[in-house]
Amino acid sequence: MSEGAKNTKINVLIFDRPYPPEKTAMMRAVNWAILTGACNKCRHRRKCSISDKLKFPKRAPCMKKKAEYLEAKK
């Protein structure tokens, strides 16, 4: 790292193909929640799991962010 360079974290979310707006918003929201630490603070965290039947509680921070993304898309 050069002198004076800041230690900056860069996050890149790559979509390998076009996804429906609902799925795109969900991926962005989960990514946001993980990066900001919202997942670690979330009281619903134990209900989340990595599976094909993943269901996030509606009041979880990621779901609220997803709703914001979808609303902004309108």
- Residue range of the domain that includes 47: 21-73
Each residue of 15-55: pLDDT tens digit? 788 889 998 999 899 889 988 999 889 888 877 765 556 67
Per the structure, the count of domains in the chain is 1
63 within some domain: yes
8 within some domain: no
**CB distance 59 to 47 below 8 Å:** no
* Phi then psi dihedrals of residue 68, to 5 deg: -60, -45
Helix (H) or strand (E) holding 32: helix 21-36
Tell me the three state secondary structure of residue 70. helix
Q: What is the pTM assigned to this prediction?
A: 0.71
